[in-house]
A and B are shown apart, each in its own frame.
Chain A
């Protein structure tokens, strides 16, 4: 029963008191991963090393010397983080078989605190996408597709075919991580967030997804997409857990010179009771074209919730919001063109058999290794960086970026503490529908509510809010001031408590932990 609760309040206590052993936790998670294989959330499951780590953790607990709250906790890591001795593929043919010689800083930090690394999760190839559908290992399925809540609202016309094709996407690109946390196969997972890649799947999978301030958490070992926007993301089942993970990961890293040079103190979240001193901003441009009426209503209801509790709720304007996707498109493809240049087949990864010349070997390797999406972005990026286009596109986009970042500065300076917005335009789409549009179109549509926070480097978090008419999760997003994660998470935690988002009812999980659902909250927000 404790396993459904928070890390700090329940699981850690259970481990310390010996009510559950780390090896037991690990085995349960591994078994659940096996029985939820159809979700395709994991690319690699590191069973042997995980069990070994769990055993070592158990020894520490027996001696009464656990390393901290994360000691013995099973976690999963998105497959674009380097993990020593474990294959790191970025869901691409380019890195199939690549065994990292080192751990990303964030992975090392988790291991140093005794966390148990269960495996690497699935994603869109090189984190390019918003569905987790474009990786070479296939798409990730949203666990909610198999939930009682979704099945009740979607009785298939012809069984079992419709049920098979009815499944919905996780969102992306950190879909594997979101699905892993959502289906209880791990207690927390690392994702990455460049345009919304942690918050988007968090919203669709009904989990908490935190994008920290740019510079707070080290990117060393995170295979880069856009160096000026990438951040490691944190996915958990509750806001308190996100704070625990943040506490163990944040801070200066000598191996990443873009990390904070100020100190960082891990914090516990207070239980906010009085919101009367809070000022919540509602940016009107986030009422974007295509926003479902359902989510609009939920957003409005949330604003009222704050108002009725005594907070000041004001409409604000971030006028350059509509241009953030275009701006991102240029800056992202430009940085991608540069970052993908390292994949030439010489030092690591796939290598073509072509031997005629170095250049033709590079070209063939890249033709064989990258999918259409990646190649498309590289070519576009190179176009925008051509001498004749540099000022017109790349520098222009950098100027627009400043305007977007300034919009936020102005709003926060006017007294607003936190912004409240939707995270996605609608609930998760069925896979068959999602793939009708190409990756770039989809990303452009889906990133619209999340992208600007990456542009400005601000912290943002998705909090699962309610179930949609179709029985699928819908989340809302809070955006905070730079490096003010404590305030952001405190407000998010208060909101989480008000909405009481329901626990997913998954047959597979129920079979494993019959007492997990004893504590299911009956009141729900919608």
Chain B
């Protein structure tokens, strides 16, 4: 069962990563095929496991006290585009162009 172009496009949009070429799509197909082996295992009555530490201790919330910070300068150092103490991004609220308008391998499908 091949993955539909709609789903492929949806994935590219969600992941903000592109398949790039036929090999990329093939890679996903193989990954799904491989994962399908999971269905051979009987998991009736089995609870999903989030953490191997579930029986030992819980993730906890610490006290809401300020213990560190004031490192704006250090944190901004690694950003390429900034203005005063802001990270600068291109305009938001503009969705990725639709399949037909975008330069993506999937256009050919």
Contacts and interface: CB of A to CB of B under 8 A. Distances in A.
* Chain B interface bracket (under 10, 10 to 19, 20 to 34, 35 or more): 35 or more
B22 interface: no
Given A330-B35, A351-B80, A382 B74 contact: no
A400 B35 CA distance: 12
B31 A456 contact: no
A98 interface: yes
A340 to B, nearest CB: 8
A382 B59 contact: no
Given A257-B59, A358-B90, A358-B91, A379 B17 contact: yes
A28 interface: no
Contact of A402 (B18, B31, B46, B96): B46
Interface stretch (A147-155, A176-184, A319-327, A429-437): A319-327
Instruction: Output the residue of B19, B57, B89, B91 with the most chain A CB within 10 A.
Output: B89
Nearest to A441: B30
A346 interface: yes
B50 A398 contact: yes
A356 interface: yes
A496 B87 CA distance: 53
Contact of A258 (B7, B35, B49, B53): B53
Contact of A257 (B48, B60, B89): B60
Contact of B94 (A345, A357, A384, A392): A357
A400 B37 CA distance: 11
Contacts of A383: 3, 7, 11, 28, 31-32
A358 B89 contact: yes
A396 B38 contact: yes
Contacts, number: 176
Contact of B49 (A101, A351, A402): A402
* Chain A interface bracket (under 10, 10 to 19, 20 to 34, 35 or more): 35 or more
A311 interface: no
B35 A399 contact: no
B66 interface: no
A400 B42 CA distance: 9
A337 B78 contact: no
B52 A214 contact: yes
A136 interface: no
Interface stretch (A45-53, A217-225, A280-288, A368-376): A368-376
Given A356-B94, A376-B28, A366 B17 contact: yes
B69 interface: no
Given A346-B89, A382-B14, A440-B31, A393 B62 contact: no
A361 to B, nearest CB: 5
A400 B41 contact: yes
Contacts of A393: 35, 38
A345 B34 CA distance: 32
A378 interface: yes
Contacts of A367: 17-18, 20
Contacts of A360: 90, 94, 96-97
A348 interface: yes
Contacts of A214: 52-53
Nearest to A346: B87
Contacts of B20: 367, 372, 375
Contacts of B35: 326, 329-330, 380, 384, 393, 397
A366 B17 CA distance: 6
Contacts of B38: 323, 326-327, 330, 393, 396-397, 400
Nearest to A403: B46
Contact of B90 (A355, A384, A396): A355
Contacts of A440: 27, 30-31
A357 B13 CA distance: 14
Given A360-B97, A393-B38, A399-B49, 6 more contacts: A228-B52, A258-B59, A323-B41, A330-B35, A347-B87, A398-B48
Q: Please list the 5 inter-chain residue pairs (A to B) with the smallest Cβ-Cβ separation, ordered nearest first.
A: A457-B52, A398-B48, A357-B94, A348-B78, A399-B43
17 contacts: A261-B57, A329-B31, A329-B35, A345-B80, A346-B79, A361-B89, A361-B90, A366-B17, A372-B20, A375-B18, A380-B27, A393-B38, A399-B48, A400-B38, A403-B43, A405-B49, A440-B30
